[in-house]
Amino acid sequence: MTAPLLEVRDLRVRFDGDDGSVSAVNGVSFAVAPGEALALVGESGSGKSVSMLSVMGLLPPVARVEAGEVLWRGRDLLRLSERELQGVRGREVAMVYQDPQSSLNPALTVGTQLTMVLRHHLGLGRRAARARAAELLALVGIPEPQRRLDEYPHRFSGGQRQRILIALALACDPRLLIADEPTTALDVTIQAQILDLVRRLREQLEMAIVWITHDLGVVAGLVDRVAVMYGGTIVEEAPVRELFAAPSHPYTVGLLAAMPRLDEPRSARLRSIPGAPQSLAAPPVACPFAPRCEWAVARCSEELPALRPAGPLARAACHRADEVRARTEATVTR
Amino acid sequence: MPDTWRRFRRHRLALFGLALLAVLVAAVVFGPFLLPYDGERIDFAAKDLPPSLTHPMGTDELGRDQFSRVLDGGRLTLGVAASAVLVSLVLGVLVGAVAGYAGGLLDSALMRGVDIFYSLPALFVVILLVSLFGPGFLTIVVGIAALTWMNTARLVRASYLTLKEREFVEAARALGVPPTRIALRHILPNALGPVIVTATLGLAIAILIESGLSFLGLGFNPPQATWGGMLQESQRPVISEGHWWRGFFPGLMIFLTVLAANFVGDGLRDALDPRAAGRRRGA
C-alpha cells in the first residue's frame, strides 16, 4: 500500500455534558490511501461523524480529543493551530454536509459563496473566480451555470442544492472529500443521481472519499472499503465485496440481514438486531456489542476484542470472528 | 433582494412613505437654490406676515421668509438625523456583532457597557456633551448616537447568537473560511434585515431628539435654523400673538418626515421578514 493520505491512529473523543460525560470515540484507527474511497458505516451515535469532525478540527466545544493522532500526509492535524487548519479545510480536505436546505447561506448568491472560497484559498481574481465558479456548477450538472450563479439558494431544488454543496467542496480540488450522509435528506431518485455524480467526479478528479452513512446499500457501488463502527470503535473493516460476501463480525452480519432484499419474498419481515446501542460513560472494557450479540460467550463480556485479521483483506474485532466468517462463507454466496 | 423589493412594492403605505421622503429630501437639498428669498435675510418691511402666495409659510418677526428657513433648517435637521443614525448603526452593529460572535467574557463586558448606556439619563448626557464641546454638528450627532446605538447592538447580538449556530456557518467553517470573514460576509447579511428596519425608525427618533434639543435651547445656535429650533422660537409668537404659522410649518415637516420614515420602516420589516409576509398572506 502506498503512503496513506489520511491515517487516524487510536483516536479517542469524549463529550462532557452536564449529566456526566460520554465516550463517543474509543480508539479508532483507519487509513485512507490517495484516491481510495472508504465508507464509515454505523448507526446514530456510533462515532462515525465525530471521528471525521475531529479530522476537520470542527468538534463542538463540549467534545474533547483525549488521545490519538490524525496524520494528514504525515502532519498531525490535531496539533495544528486554528489558522493552520483553515488552510487545510476546504483546500485539501473538504466536507459535504447532510442537509442541503440549511448548509447554504440563504442571504448570499450561489456565485458569491463559490467565489468567496475560490478567492480565499486559491487567491483568484474576481473574474477568474467567477469563471471557475461557473465551471464548477457545470461540473456538478447545474444547467445554465453562468446565469444561475446570480441566484439565491432558495431558487434551487434540494438535489441541486446538494450539487452546489458538492461544487463548493470541490472548488479547490481537495485530495479528500468527506461526505456526511449527504443523501439522507433527498428522495431516492435524487439520491441515486447524487451517487452517480460523486462516482463520476471521483474518477475524473482522482480524489479520495470518506463517505459517512448508516446505509450499507447506498455505498455498495461507490466505495472500495467499508469500516463498520459500533459503540465508538471500528468492529470490522474490509473491502466492500468481501464485507458483503463474508462478514466476520456478528454486527455486520446483522446489518446486512437488516437490509431489504429484492430476491426475497416481499412478505418477509425486515430483520432487526434485538436491543439498542448504549452510550458509554467510559471506554469499553468488554465487547460493546456483546449484550445484543447471538454469538456472545462469557469471554465477550470480560475482554475487549482487538481489531485483527479475519480474512484475506478483512479485519474484525470479535473473539469469534473466525467462526462467524466460516458460517457466513458457508451460507449462500449472495 | 429583488424579492424584497417586490414585497416592499406591495406595501402601499411604505411606497407612499418612500415617495414622501424623496420629495422632502429633494426639497431641502434643491429648494433653497430655487427660492427667491434667503432664509437669513432680514426684511422689516415684511415682518409677521401670515401665509400668502409670496410667503407660503409666512414670515417671522424679523421678516425672514419661513418657507426658505424651513428648507434651510431641513438640510441641517435631516443631515443631523441621517448622520446620527449612521453613527449609531455602525457602533451598534460593531458592538453587537463582536459580542454575539465572540461570546464569553468579551460578550459580557460589551453587554454591560450597553446596560450602562441604557441607564444613563439621556438629558444629562446631552447637556454635558453640549456644555463641554459646544453645540455643534458633531456634538449633536454624537449625542444622539450615544443615546440610540444600544438597541441596535442588542438586536445584532441576538441575531449573531442564533445565526452562528446555523448549519451554513458550520459549512463555511468546514470550507476553511476564516472567522472574521464568516462574521462579516456570511452572518452580517443575514443579520442586517432587522437593523435596516430599526434604522428607518431611528431616523424618526433622531429627528425628534434633535428637535427636542433645539426646543430646549441645547441645539444649534440662532440664526441657524432647524425644525426643532424654529418650533422653539415660535413658542411666544404662537401663544401670545396668535401667529400659528410660526409653529405649524416646522412642526408639520417633522411630522411628515417621521411619518414617512415609520411607513418605510414598517414596509421594510414586512418585506425583509418572510414570516411576516406569510402571516399577511395567510390573514
Give residue A259's region: left, alpha or beta (phi > 0; psi -120 to 50): beta
More confident residue, A325 or A268: A325
Average pLDDT of A53-80?
A: 88
Q: Which of residues 141-170 of B touch A (CB under 8 A)?
A: 166-168, 170
Is the pLDDT at A334 greater than 50? The verdict is: no
Tell me: the pLDDT tens digits for B76-115?
888 888 999 999 999 999 999 999 999 889 999 999 999 9
Interface of A with B (CB under 8 A): 56, 58, 83, 85-91, 94-95, 97, 99, 102-108, 112, 116-117, 120-121, 165, 168-169, 171
Residue at B39 is within a domain: no
Q: How many CB atoms lie within 10 A of CB B113?
A: 14
Nearest to A87 among B167, B176, B181 (CB): B176
Residue numbers of the domain that contains B157? 12-28+66-276
Question: What interface predicted TM-score (ipTM) does this complex get?
Answer: 0.81
Tell me: the pLDDT tens digits for A11-54?
999 888 777 788 888 889 999 999 899 999 988 888 888 999 99
CA distance B179 to chain A (A): 9
pLDDT category at A73 given cuts 50, 70, 90 is confident
Q: Do B176 and A102 touch (CB under 8 A)?
A: no
pLDDT value at residue A101: 82
Report the candidate in A180, A181, A305 with the shortest Cα–Cα distance to residue A231: A305
**Cβ proximity of A145 and A134 under 8 Å:** yes
pLDDT value at residue B280: 44
Q: How many folded domains does chain B comprise?
A: 1
Residue at B38 is within a domain: no
Residue of B nearest to A105 (CA): B168
Q: Which residues of B touch A83 (CB under 8 A)?
A: 178
State the alpha helices, DSSP H only, in chain B.
2-10, 12-34, 66-102, 104-119, 122-133, 137-163, 167-174, 179-181, 188-215, 227-233, 235-241, 245-272, 274-282
Tell me: the pLDDT tens digits for A207-240?
999 999 888 888 888 899 999 999 888 999 999 9
Residue at B46 is within a domain: no
Q: Do B170 and A107 touch (CB under 8 A)?
A: no
Residue at B36 is within a domain: no
Average pLDDT of A76-104?
A: 88
Q: Do B177 and A88 touch (CB under 8 A)?
A: no
**Angstrom distance (rounded) from CA A73 to CA A147:** 39
Q: Do A86 and B176 touch (CB under 8 A)?
A: yes
How far does Cα B16 stand from its chain's mean position?
18
Q: Do B167 and A89 touch (CB under 8 A)?
A: no
pLDDT value at residue B11: 82
Question: Which residue, among B162, B166, B168, would best test binding to A if mutated, counting the most A CBs under 10 Å from its CB?
Answer: B168
Interface residue B133 vs chain A (CB under 8 A): no
Q: Using omega within 30 degrees of 0 as the cis cutoff, is the peptide bond preceding A239 cis?
A: no
**Angstrom distance (rounded) from CA A105 to CA A154:** 10
pLDDT value at residue B278: 42
Q: Do B170 and A104 touch (CB under 8 A)?
A: no
pLDDT value at residue B64: 80
Paired residues of A20 in beta bridges: A17
Q: Which residues of A touch B172 (CB under 8 A)?
A: 105
Question: Which residue, among A105, A121, A172, would best test binding to B if mutated, counting the most B CBs under 10 Å from its CB?
Answer: A105
Cα B77 to Cα B67, B209, B219: the distances in Å are: 15, 10, 10
Terminal-residue alpha carbon distance, chain B: 24
Residue at B165 is within a domain: yes
Residue at B90 is within a domain: yes
Domain with residue B73: its CATH number is 1.10.3720.10
Q: Do A103 and B185 touch (CB under 8 A)?
A: no
The position carrying cell 431641513 is: B74
Side-chain-side CA neighbours of residue A156 (13 Å): 31
**Angstrom distance (rounded) from CA B243 to CA B247:** 8
Tell me: the pLDDT tens digits for A132-164?
999 999 988 899 999 999 888 888 988 899 999
Residue at B191 is within a domain: yes
CA distance B13 to chain A (A): 26
Task: List chain B pLDDT tens, one digit each, 283 residues.
Answer: 556 777 788 888 889 999 998 998 888 888 777 776 776 777 777 777 777 777 777 777 777 888 888 888 888 888 888 999 999 999 999 999 999 999 889 999 999 999 999 898 878 888 888 888 887 888 889 988 988 899 999 999 999 999 988 889 989 988 988 889 999 888 988 888 888 878 887 887 888 788 788 777 777 776 777 887 788 777 778 788 777 888 888 888 888 888 888 888 888 877 776 554 444 443 3
pLDDT value at residue A93: 92
**Angstrom distance (rounded) from CA B123 to CA A208:** 66
Q: Which residues of A touch B170 (CB under 8 A)?
A: 58, 97, 103
**Cβ proximity of A3 and A28 under 8 Å:** no
Residue at B42 is within a domain: no
Nearest to B174 among A87, A89, A108 (CB): A89
Average pLDDT, chain A: 86
Residue of A nearest to B190 (CA): A107
Q: What are the CB-based long-range contacts (under 8 Å, 24+) for B24-28?
A: B24/B74, B24/B78, B24/B253, B24/B256, B24/B257, B24/B260, B25/B78, B27/B71, B27/B74, B28/B71, B28/B72, B28/B74, B28/B75, B28/B78
Residue of A nearest to B193 (CA): A107
pLDDT value at residue B101: 92
